[in-house]
Structure formats: C-alpha cells, structure tokens
C-alpha cells in the first residue's frame, strides 16, 4: 500500500510540475514613490479592488516603491531578479507605472493613473 501511495503521489507531483512549467509566468509590477500624489491617488481609487480581483490571484504582484518618486528607477529599489526587467524599460521616469511581464519580457508598459484601465485590459487578454 505504501508503494502505491508513493507511486501515485510521485506521478501526481510530476503531472502538476509539468502543468506549472507549461503555464506562462505573469508578473504585474507597480512602480511608485512615497511622495507621488498620482501614486497615492491610484492606491486610494484602485488598489483595494485590484487586490480583491480574480486577476490579482492569477499573477505575481510586485511593488517597487522608493521614498522619492525620482528614485523609483534606481537599481537599489528593485529586487535583484528584476534587474533584467528594469533594463527593458526604455524611459526610466514617471510614476505610477504599471508593467506586465510575461516570461521575463515586458508585454505591457503603461504610465499614469488613467492607464490602469489599459493595463487591466491587457492583463485580461493575457489571462484568457
């Protein structure tokens, strides 16, 4: 019986691992600054709904926030594994910025509170 349970468990784990590897990795990255009025506006208007949304639970959410919005694109505020994403951003200024990254590549790059709706539209297309 223990052998069967072990064999079944191993097969189930292998199947789940294969499925997980096949699914694209989607990250949504928010870039903001503590002293950024539009960032505060976005958080007040959209953050709670975003955190409760079904889309939020299907992606990896990352916040890159610096004490000053002018520092938001400095490497020291970006986790080391996000350096390749930072390198892909063509214009390193402006907050709030919303990036969607699929398998390590930026597929959506929107700037400004009004562009959150565009980010969500892009995300829903990618998740379908």
- Cα distance between residue 82 and residue 64, in whole Å: 10
Express each pLDDT in 50-74 by its tens digit: 999 999 999 999 999 999 999 999 9
32 neighbors 65 (Cβ within 8 angstroms): yes
Give me the pLDDT at residue 23, please: 58
Using alpha carbons, list the distances in angstroms from residue 84 to 88, 89, 106, 107: 7, 9, 10, 14
Q: Domain 23-127: which CATH class?
A: alpha beta
What pLDDT is stored for residue 11 in this prediction?
41
Residue 80: the pLDDT is 87
Render pLDDT for 99-110 as a digit per residue (tens, 0 to 9). 999 999 999 999
Mean pLDDT, to the nearest integer, of 91-100?
A: 95
What does the CA dihedral 89, 92, 97, 100 come to, rounded to 10 degrees?
A: 10
- 114 pLDDT band, cuts 50/70/90, is very high
Using one digit for the tens of pLDDT, what is the confidence trace for 2-33? 444 433 444 444 444 444 455 568 999 999 99
pTM: 0.81
Is 116 within 8 Å of 46 (Cβ atoms)?
A: yes
Sign of CA dihedral 71, 59, 105, 113: negative
Helices assigned H by DSSP within 1-128? 2-22, 37-42, 48-52, 83-88, 116-127
Residue 98 has φ and ψ, to the nearest 5°, of -125, 120
What pLDDT does 67 receive?
A: 96
> CA 11 to CA 108: how far, in whole Å?
37
Beta-bridge partners for 93: none
């Amino acid at each position: 019986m223990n052998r069967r349970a072990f064999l079944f468990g191993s097969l189930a784990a292998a199947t789940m691992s294969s499925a997980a590897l096949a699914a694209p990795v989607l990250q949504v990255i928010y870039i903001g600054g503590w002293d950024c009025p539009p960032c505060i506006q976005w958080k007040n208007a959209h953050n709670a709904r975003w955190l409760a949304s079904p889309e939020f639970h299907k992606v990896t959410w990352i916040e890159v926030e610096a004490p000053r919005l002018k520092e938001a694109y400095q490497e020291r505020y970006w986790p080391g594994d996000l350096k390749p994403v930072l390198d892909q951003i063509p214009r390193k200024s402006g907050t709030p910025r919303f990036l969607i990254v699929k398998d390590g590549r930026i597929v959506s790059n929107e700037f400004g509170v009004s562009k959150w709706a565009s980010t969500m539209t892009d995300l829903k297309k990618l998740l379908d």
